[in-house]
Amino acid sequence: MLDTPASTLRFGRLLLTGAAGHLGQMLRPRLKAYCQTLRLSHRREFGPAAAGEEIMLAALEDKAQVQDLLVGVDAVVHMGGVSTEQPWEQILAGNIVGMVNLYESARCNGVKRIVFASSNHVTGFYRQDEVVSPLDPARPDGFYGLSKAFGEDLAQLYWNKHGVETVSLRIGSSYAEPKDRRMLATWMSFDDTERLVVAALTAPVVGHSIVYGMSDNPRTFWDNTPARHIGYRPLDSSETFRPAVEARQQSLDMTDPATLYQGGSFVRTGPL
């Protein structure tokens, strides 16, 4: 967790969706420093609220539940929805219908800013020898990446038409440490993930902006220059883990699409 001066407290009530998921659990204690009340939401029970928290269960595809969820909220950190490649029906419910419900609720409840957990899989079908920026066209690597591209387009629509601001975070691989060679390029430490989310919440003017979520890795697939106005400055690097990762994965199969494309194993066809 980062040291947070008291002066950074900016929000009355902040909503964190997907609070019981991988990134939601990591962000839960960290985001409390930036608000008076942290409203936590997930589709299933996940235990009691602690001091400074409130819990509201909601399924994203349930329009009425999502309408209630955003009442009295100043800003949203949307980590909810389906976070890996899954059958289309699940992605449709969580990431397409759920996103429309969330943005409609934001519009109706006057919520001004959403930080949206998009994904690097929006551009997963670029090769690993290309450097992609948020200005390049989407090349999703599956239904999951496609749904995140839809989410970004929806965010753009709600900015243009209704003045709801969004920062879409094309998150790379947010884990305690990189698990394989690909993640030496895509890894984002938990502290840098907090830095990115806080920068996205607090940058003064964002409209709809897209930024890749990565640490300060020396080799990377992404160029965040068009998102410099967000003010995200990563302080960690995957380089520390390189010797251990390379020792574990000594050779690369150059005929495997997962080696050639940025999306890694997400680009493979066949069973999930």
Q: Which residues bind ligand 15L (CB under 6 A)?
A: 83-84, 119-121, 171, 173, 186
Task: Give the Cβ contact number of residue 173 at 10 Å.
Answer: 21
> What b/e string do you get for 5-44 counting C-beta neighbours within 10 Å, with b at 16 or more?
eeeeeebebbbbbbbbbebbebbbebbbbbbebbbbbbbe
Is 144 one of the annotated active-site residues of the chain?
A: yes
Question: Closest approach of Cβ 50 to ligand 15L, in Å?
Answer: 26
Single-letter amino acid code for the residue at 219: R
Question: Closest approach of Cβ 147 to ligand 15L, in Å?
Answer: 11
Q: Which is nearer to ligand 15L, 65 or 241 (CB)?
A: 241
3-state secondary structure 226-255: HHHHHCCCCCCCHHHHHHHHHHHCCCCCCC
Q: Which is nearer to ligand 15L, 144 or 232 (CB)?
A: 144
Question: Closest approach of Cβ 74 to ligand 15L, in Å?
Answer: 26
Beta strands in the chain (DSSP E): 11-17, 35-41, 53-55, 75-78, 113-119, 165-171, 173-174, 187-188, 208-213
Question: Closest approach of Cβ 48 to ligand 15L, in Å?
Answer: 27
For the beta sheet containing 75-78, the strands, ordered from the edge strand earlier in sequence to the opposite edge, are: 53-55, 35-41, 11-17, 75-78, 113-119, 165-171, 208-213
Q: Which is nearer to ligand 15L, 105 or 215 (CB)?
A: 215
Question: Closest approach of Cβ 98 to ligand 15L, in Å?
Answer: 15
Q: Which is nearer to ligand 15L, 124 or 194 (CB)?
A: 124
> What b/e string do you get for 204-220 counting C-beta neighbours within 10 Å, with b at 16 or more?
eebebbbbbbbbebeeb
Q: Which is nearer to ligand 15L, 106 or 188 (CB)?
A: 188
Neighbour-count burial of 3, counting CB atoms closer than 10 A to its CB (0-12 exposed, 13-18 middle, 19+ buried): exposed
Q: What angle do CA 100, 104, 108 make, to 5 degrees?
A: 170
Q: Which is nearer to ligand 15L, 159 or 212 (CB)?
A: 212
Q: Check 144, 158, 232, 261 and give the catalytic one.
A: 144
Question: Closest approach of Cβ 44 to ligand 15L, in Å?
Answer: 18
The residues annotated with a catalytic role in the active site are 144
